[in-house]
Amino acid sequence: MNPYILSTLLIGLGLGTTITFASSHWLLAWMGLEMNTLAIIPLMAQHHHPRAVEAATKYFLTQAAAA
């Protein structure tokens, strides 16, 4: 994975976690959790092993259905 993309995903993951912890409103907490989801799914599928791709796909579908 390109180092710029990897660093962007890791920064997004940290920012989403920070927003979730520092939120005082449920909408900000939800936005932080969604940012974490969008950042963690590509990181989960980074290794092109069939189980990693399957786990990322299942996680994405579960999150999409819940949102």
DSSP state of 23: -
DSSP state of 24: S
CA–CA separation, 52 vs 64, rounded Å?
18
Claim: this prediction has a pTM higher than 0.85: no
pLDDT digits (tens, 9 = 90+) for 5-63: 999 999 999 999 999 999 999 999 999 998 998 898 888 888 788 888 888 888 888 88
32-48 residue pLDDT tens: 998 998 898 888 888 78
Domain encompassing residue 21: 3-66
Q: Count structural domains, the chain.
A: 1
